[in-house]
Amino acid sequence: MPIDRSMTDSPAGVTDASGTNQAPAGAEKPKLLRRRRLKESDVNVVDKPMLKKALGGTIVGNTMEWYDVGVFGYLITTMGPVFLPEADKSVQTLFLLGTFAATFIARPLGGVIFGWFGDKIGRQKVLAATLMLMAASTFAIGLLPGYAQIGIWAAALLVLLKIVQGFSTGGEYAGATTFVSEYSPDARRGFFASFLDLGSYLGFAIGAAFVSGLQLTLGQSTMEEWGWRVPFLVAGPLGLIAVYFRSKIEESPQFQATLDAQESLAKNAGTADGVGTKGPVGIVKAYWRSIIVAMVLVAAANTAGYALTSYMPTYLTESKGYDPVHGTLLTIPVLVVMSLCIPLTGKLSDRIGRRPVLWIGAFSTVVLAAPAFLLIGVGEIWSTLLGLGLIAFPVTFYVANLASALPAQFPTSSRYGAMGIAYNFSVAIFGGTTPFIVAALIAVTGNDMMPAYYLMATSAIGAVAIYFLKESARRPLPGSMPSVDSSAEACELVATQDENPLIDLEQMEMPFADPAMDSDPDRYAERVPARV
């Protein structure tokens, strides 16, 4: 909570030999204000049924988002003849990869707008809106006429719908990570937040499996004729189910507490200011260092993640000679195994810290990327699966921890907005463009190892960013009170707060109080001279 300097600055007057301000002659001497100590009533005890409901409601949205990413990525070689039948195959592929990248161009705008609204009116309302818009645009893609019906306008409408989809997705992941982080107990935030990416990659695998099943049963010609529409049309009813679950979630207790406190403060001050009034420009000015660190980490993690998911089917088909069905099927078991391991690495970060786990992801990418693509280059199924597994290994350590590490870099009042900016600008520049960039690098150089070199470079830079990342494991979120699993844990936390290195009253924005009102004033954490 900001300090009113008009009330806390020492009065003008003489300064003694020690440099201590003294009040002018005849004025009342100032006294010291100190941070109020933590009380049991300050500590949030997690409502476990509500946590499960919140986790389920956010997971379905993330699963929906990545289902679409998977469906579009695996249908690139099928949709090319539908929208650009007169173009060369390489041009068709580059167009659809470019369309995929265009989705991410709209994400920053969605992140800025939905992030600001999420800090202003609440996480739950905005997350329901992003999910509805995302499902509707995905469903509309399945209704698009092809080139045979309306010519080049078909391709233009596809790009437009993908941009709308990207705009809505811009508020999805940032809001979901913020929401779950604020619902979770501090000691297990890494574990619970990691389920978001479990849902993400399972959604991708579900989309891939669905497309593969259609390709096997319908055949390529039927897929190009009408079969490609089915996975997109399925998004309609799935979206309605997901919106229903998400509408049942209550606002996060951490945000609600901040909202109540700041509304009370604004009312007492006679202003209309409240949560979320800082705005995107103010957020960047206030937290630009943390935003840069987050952007670099997101870039490193998502280049590896999107190389594995969105680009790999195209790489296996275009560069390694696999047919579209096998190019899709080979990635599915790797994605499923990786998804099931994500909560384990999330739990590991609760034990040893976010930074060590993220360093494992960065260093293993640098070490394993080249061997992974060499193994894929052998051309055997066993070597391809092993190569895909080597790429999936560091991705597991990356993505499981971004969902808990990044929201903890920003205070509650600006968390959604800061996450929307940091995550989406980085994904737009590096993540979503990864398939297009590596395909272009291969086309220009003729070197199939270029994807490996690209991943190694981004993770080397990411390792540097981890050094500057603030460790957040088992600590309360900035601007929020501690969150625990039980009342007994809350009692213990309050009793041991003076010896607990994870408790920082300033980071919690604990208000100042008059030490004369406390029976043991010396146990306050901070002193500020103030005029009475």
Predicted confidence (pLDDT) per residue in 180-204, tens digit: 998 999 999 999 999 998 888 888 8
Tell me which of 529 and 114 has the higher pLDDT. 114
**What pairing do the DSSP bridges indicate for beta strands 31-35 and 527-530?**
antiparallel
Sequence-distant (6+) residues with CB within 8 A of 398 are 300, 301, 304, 305, 358, 361, 362, 365
The per-residue DSSP string of 95-141 comes to: HHHHHHHHHHHSHHHHHHHHHHHHHHH-HHHHHHHHHHHHHHHHHHH
pLDDT digits (tens, 9 = 90+) for 454-464: 999 999 999 99
Confidence class of residue 267 from pLDDT cuts 50, 70 and 90?
low
Confidence class of residue 272 from pLDDT cuts 50, 70 and 90?
very low
Identify the structural domains of the chain with CATH numbers, from first to last. 47-251+288-468 (1.20.1250.20)
What pLDDT does residue 243 have?
82
**Percent of the chain's residues with pLDDT above 70:** 86
Distance CA 250, CA 256 (A): 10
pLDDT at 382 over 80: yes
**Percent of the chain's residues with pLDDT above 90:** 39
pLDDT at 42 over 50: yes
Task: Choose from 223-237, 359-373, 403-417 the range with maximum mean pLDDT.
Answer: 359-373
Distance CA 177, CA 74 (A): 26
Residue 75 in 3-state DSSP? coil
Judge whether 403 and 177 are in contact, CB under 8 Å: yes
pLDDT at 528 over 50: no
What pLDDT does residue 321 have?
77
What pLDDT does residue 60 have?
82
Give residue 524's identity as a one-letter amino acid code: Y
What pLDDT does residue 368 have?
96
Q: What is the mean pLDDT of the chain?
A: 83
Sequence-distant (6+) residues with CB within 8 A of 273 are 262, 266
Phi, psi of 31 (to 5 degrees): -125, 170
| pLDDT-wise least confident of 357-366, 367-376, 508-517 | 508-517
Ramachandran quadrant class, 511 (left: phi over 0; alpha: psi -120 to 50; beta: rest): beta
pLDDT digits (tens, 9 = 90+) for 158-178: 999 999 988 988 888 888 898
What pLDDT does residue 326 have?
76
What pLDDT does residue 254 have?
75
| pLDDT-wise least confident of 25-29, 147-151, 167-171, 283-287 | 25-29
pLDDT at 530 over 80: no
What pLDDT does residue 391 have?
94
pLDDT at 475 over 50: yes
Judge whether 130 and 171 are in contact, CB under 8 Å: yes
Judge whether 277 and 405 are in contact, CB under 8 Å: no
| pLDDT-wise least confident of 231-245, 363-377, 386-400 | 231-245
Give residue 407's identity as a one-letter amino acid code: P
Average pLDDT, stretch 20-29? 48
What pLDDT does residue 32 have?
54
pLDDT digits (tens, 9 = 90+) for 306-355: 888 877 877 888 777 787 677 778 888 998 899 999 999 999 999 999 99
Alpha carbon 346 to its chain's center: 14
Task: Choose from 168-172, 245-249, 285-289 the range with maximum mean pLDDT.
Answer: 285-289
Distance CA 424, CA 140 (A): 23
What pLDDT does residue 257 have?
73
Residue 484 in 3-state DSSP? strand
What pLDDT does residue 13 have?
39
pLDDT at 23 over 70: no
Residue 309 in 3-state DSSP? helix
Tell me which of 263 and 153 has the higher pLDDT. 153
Phi, psi of 45 (to 5 degrees): -95, 120
| pLDDT-wise least confident of 73-77, 172-176, 225-229, 296-300 | 73-77
| pLDDT-wise least confident of 39-53, 258-272, 391-405 | 258-272
Distance CA 69, CA 104 (A): 11
E strand or H helix that includes residue 31: strand 31-35
Tokens (6 digits) for 298 = 């997101």
Confidence class of residue 16 from pLDDT cuts 50, 70 and 90?
very low
pLDDT at 105 over 50: yes
Confidence class of residue 128 from pLDDT cuts 50, 70 and 90?
confident
What pLDDT does residue 241 have?
83
Q: For residue 184, what is the DSSP state?
A: S
What pLDDT does residue 514 have?
52
What pLDDT does residue 467 have?
96
Judge whether 482 and 44 are in contact, CB under 8 Å: yes
